[in-house]
Amino acid sequence: MDFTFTEEQQAAAEAAKGVFAGVAPDAVPSPAMTPGAVAETCDRALWARLADADLLSLLLDARYGGAGLDAVALCLVLRESAKVLARVPLLESCAAAAAVQAYGGEEAKADLLARAGRGETVLTVAPHGRTGHDPAEQAVTARQDGGTWVLDGVQTAVPWAYDADVTLVPAHTGTGRTVLALVPRGHEGAVLAEQFSTSGERLGELRLESARLPGRDVIDTDGAWEWLRDLLATGTCALALGLGERVLRMTGEYTGKREQFGFPIATFQAVAVQAADRYIDLRAMEATLWQAAWRIASGAPGPLPAAGDVAVAKIWAAEGVRRVVQTAQHLHGGFGADVDYPLHRYHAWAKHLELSLGPAAAHEEALGDLLAAHPLA
């Protein structure tokens, strides 16, 4: 494996560092002190800066004003965004646009992609199903009625639902196929209800009641949802990695200054060993992330489908980010729970990412199923 990044990928990461340099992770009220959402909308000023830096069009072809880069470049940018807890639908909008580009019809591409790349149209995805545990595509039914599709069902915890102009909704048909419906916000038969994440962000429960969409707004191509689902999962792993790296750096800085018995606590063996264990977690998260992103970007064959590499990355990300923030809280002591210090925000975001990824045991079971279906020689 060669995880050397191309010049274009490195340039995207450097551009992201520049955009996120001035972002404060505590720019909104603390989720610990706010009963509802920490803000009514995403960080629109930051969204505009991302658009100006051409970071919203990374995955789009040149004809839509994009750079034509891949999942690896997107994950490099997402990694930087998580270090400052950037409150923007960067993953969801970029992944949704990439799915429309790869699998959508020409009318949908013409309507959405160039505007999404400029930040004028915001996209999101409903990836969590009805409960957050069942497959998302099973939560909504889709049936054809003449030239239209009719959708019924509920998707819970839709990220940035109130900011998005269009939500990509996976749904299953009577024949067992999965389609992706492009549902505009405020569309007749589509109702949003407020929900709140552990990070204090505003989510939406999307209830579809005989919502009718023209055929041009439904992606009926085999593999579209599976590809988008893997890209979203891998992007979430990138967010977990960036967040974990920032938290471990915060912990190193704190323990290097905090003294007990006349010495910095970082010099104590018990502290150093715990920090070293978390460093190993982060390096494992990083290696498995790039393997999964490379499989998605390249389409290269392997002993298992790309979903196997994604499952491994999800196992490490879900477990690793939890261990990193827990150790950080422990080594910070009571200072880590101070709402005037940003560590508690990173802990809340890490819990949200862990819940978004799902328990490691579920991914281990999925990996076991893949191994059973594709025996290794």
Give the CATH number of the domain where residue 303 resides: 1.20.140.10
Select from 219, 248, 267 the last residue of a domain. Answer: 219
Q: Rounded to an integer, what distance in angstroms lies between the CA atom of residue 145 and that of residue 165?
A: 25
Give the model's confidence band at 358: pLDDT under 50 very low, under 70 low, under 90 confident, else very high: confident
- The answer to the question of residue 349 being in a domain is yes
Which secondary-structure segment (H or E) carries 20? helix 7-20
Same domain, 234 and 334: yes
* CB 82 within 8 Å of CB 240: yes
Nearest to 203 by CA among 271, 257, 126: 126
Q: Is 195 helix (H, G, I), strand (E, B) or coil?
A: strand
Residue 3: the pLDDT is 72
pLDDT of residue 377: 65
Residues 236 and 302 in one domain: yes
Closest CA to 233 of 92, 124, 345: 92
Single pTM value for the model: 0.96
Both 186 and 282 in a single domain?
Answer: no
Rounded Cα distance between 38 and 197, Å, is 10
Task: List CB contacts of 288: < 8 A, sequence separation 6 or more.
Answer: 237, 309, 312, 313, 315, 316, 317
Asked whether residue 2 is domain-assigned, the answer is no
C-alpha distance from residue 130 to each of 59, 137, 174, 203 (Å): 29, 9, 18, 14
Q: Name the pLDDT band for 227 (thresholds 50, 70, 90).
A: very high
142-152: per-residue pLDDT in tens? 999 998 999 99
Verify that 322 and 282 share a domain, yes or no: yes
The enclosing domain of 54 has a CATH number of 1.10.540.10
Tally the residues of the chain. 377
The answer to whether residues 200 and 241 belong to one domain is no
- Among 189, 219, 249, residue at a domain's last position: 219
List strand residue ranges (DSSP E) for 185-246, in order: 190-196, 202-214, 218-219
**127, part of any domain:** no
Give the pLDDT confidence of 21-71 residue by residue, as tens digits: 989 999 999 998 998 999 999 999 999 999 999 999 999 999 999 999 999
Specify if 131 maps to a domain.
Answer: no
Domain co-membership, 26 together with 47: yes
Q: Where residue 162 sits, what CATH number does that domain have?
A: 2.40.110.10
Examine the domain organization and report whether 369 and 272 are in the same domain: yes
The residue range of the domain holding 166 is 136-219
Task: Put residue 374 in one of left, alpha, beta given phi > 0 → left and psi -120 to 50 → alpha.
Answer: beta
DSSP annotation of 237: H
What H or E segment, with its residue span, contains residue 183? strand 178-184
- C-alpha of 106 from chain center: 26
Evaluate whether residue 337 is within a structural domain: yes
Please check whether residue 169 lies inside any domain of the structure.
Answer: yes
Q: 110: how many CB neighbours lie within 10 A of its CB?
A: 12
Is the residue at 212 inside a domain? yes
User: What digits encode the pLDDT tens for the residues 13-34?
Assistant: 999 999 999 899 999 999 989 9
> For 250-279, how does the pLDDT look when each residue is reduced to its tens digit (9 = 90+)?
999 999 988 788 888 888 999 999 999 999
Question: Domain total for the chain?
Answer: 3
Q: Do 360 and 289 belong together in one domain? A: yes
Q: Are residues 246 and 362 in the same domain?
A: yes
Q: Does 145 fall in a domain?
A: yes
Q: What pLDDT score was predicted for residue 260?
A: 86
Residue pair 242/77 in contact by the 8 Å Cβ criterion: no
203-219 average pLDDT score: 97
Model confidence over 125-177: pLDDT tens digits? 999 998 877 889 999 999 999 989 999 999 999 999 999 999 999 999 999 89
CA distance 266 to 275: 9
